[in-house]
Amino acid sequence: MPEFDYDLIVIGAGSGGVRAARLTAQLGKRVAVIEADKPGGTCVLRGCVPKKLMVNAADIPHEVAMAQGYGWDLKPGALNWDQLREDIQAETLRLSEIYKTNLQKAGAELIMGHGSLVDAHTVAVGDRTLTSQYILIATGSATREDLGFPGSEYAVTSDDMFTLPQIPKRALVLGAGFIALEFASVLNGFGCEVTVAVRRDEIFNTSFDLETRQTLRRAMEDRGVKFLLRAEIEKLQKTAAGLQASLTNAEDMTVDMVLAGFGRDPNTKGLNLDAVGVHTGQAGEIVVDPHSQTSVPHIYAIGDVTNRMNLTPVAIREGVAFVETVFKNRPTAFDYNDVPVAVYSLPNMAAVGLSEDWARQENHAVTIFKSSFKPMKTGFAGLGERTFIKLVVDAESDRVLGAHMVGPDAGEMIQLLGIAVKAGLTKAQFDATCALHPTAAEEWVTL
């Protein structure tokens, strides 16, 4: 066997790549991680972490209103966006340093620069050429470069949201997925007048339960967000009054900011995939088998760059499966069924398992259990916001196929319900579980 510089080179120091690198290095292998930006990846630097901090901040006016309902003499203050922006950036840098330290503690070498493939065992970075027995591509995703409409250069992307010089007074959000709705909630909470343009008949796609999607849209409307359904951007023009947006099925509107919340694309730019023979798909994603191996032996890929299930915990599990497969000789494929997901909109939406529509499409005879109620906490304060929960149950086996929720702490509850759904528990077992009173969570076992 030829001698290589490393046993593993990882291109990309996001959550998935770092986990794979650390586990491999802890086995005594020689590992290098190449990163063009800072360790941490999308989630830490410009995704989940800073976005949820912004969501937490945006919910403060709602918390103040609730406090007033409980007798506290509080008045809403003004948001110091400059301070919040700096504090969030400081937190992402702190977490990035932890990623860097953990790599070093595990014995992996961090190399700063842009890595590109030379052949199945060679990576170029700067003026260096490094060889490795295995190469793992974990470069994640990037904001879309071609937004597909005239004047798109005036729009901002999700990356820009964390460094805005100021919060706009009027904003148009394009899209109806995680990024669009979470930032729509943030802007609304910060006092901005927000309109969301949705090109389909409803927010999100059919991977989420229709009734749950409808419930979230209405709840966001109650908080002041305006939705334009079946409306798509045609062009954007800069005028003296602001940005003029022309939309299908809607009147032209003038705003201070337009956010293109369409999502992100696999980040393969500059990797030199074609020259090496690594196959990509229609969306530009790296095509892999169930064990994350590409079309080129010894080159693997995990995370958002493969466009399988673009969630940070999934990328981490794919990284673990890669190490089990390649370095422990225990072929392991991650199971993408029953992965809990949460949308950190205001209010939250979360789900695990099958939606009602998907269950029926898979030929399940289903029984639906659902409830809409005012939680004690908000109800007592006089706030009209309701919580919605729904269980999709297989009528023959009584197995709980899916759980769906809109309301406070939806993500926290779905994480725990994910255990039950993944384990294949039945509705009878839910019913046999004693309720914990008084909680909103008890509604799941009293349906």
Q: How far is it, in rounded angstroms, from Cα 155 to Cα 170?
A: 13
Q: Report yes or no: 305 and 128 within 8 Å, Cβ to Cβ.
A: no
Q: Which residue out of 121, 279, 404, 437 is catalytically annotated?
A: 437
Give, in order, the Cα–Cα distances in Å from 124 to each of 10, 30, 116, 279. Answer: 12, 17, 5, 19
Catalytic residue list contains 291: no
Q: How far is it, in rounded angstroms, from Cα 78 to Cα 406?
A: 28
Give the number of other Cβ atoms within 10 Å of residue 345's Cβ.
Answer: 27
Phi and psi angles of residue 426, each rounded to the nearest 5 degrees, phi first:
-100, 165
The dihedral sign for the CA sequence 95, 101, 107, 112: positive
Q: How far is it, in rounded angstroms, from Cα 412 to Cα 71?
A: 28
The catalytic residues are 437
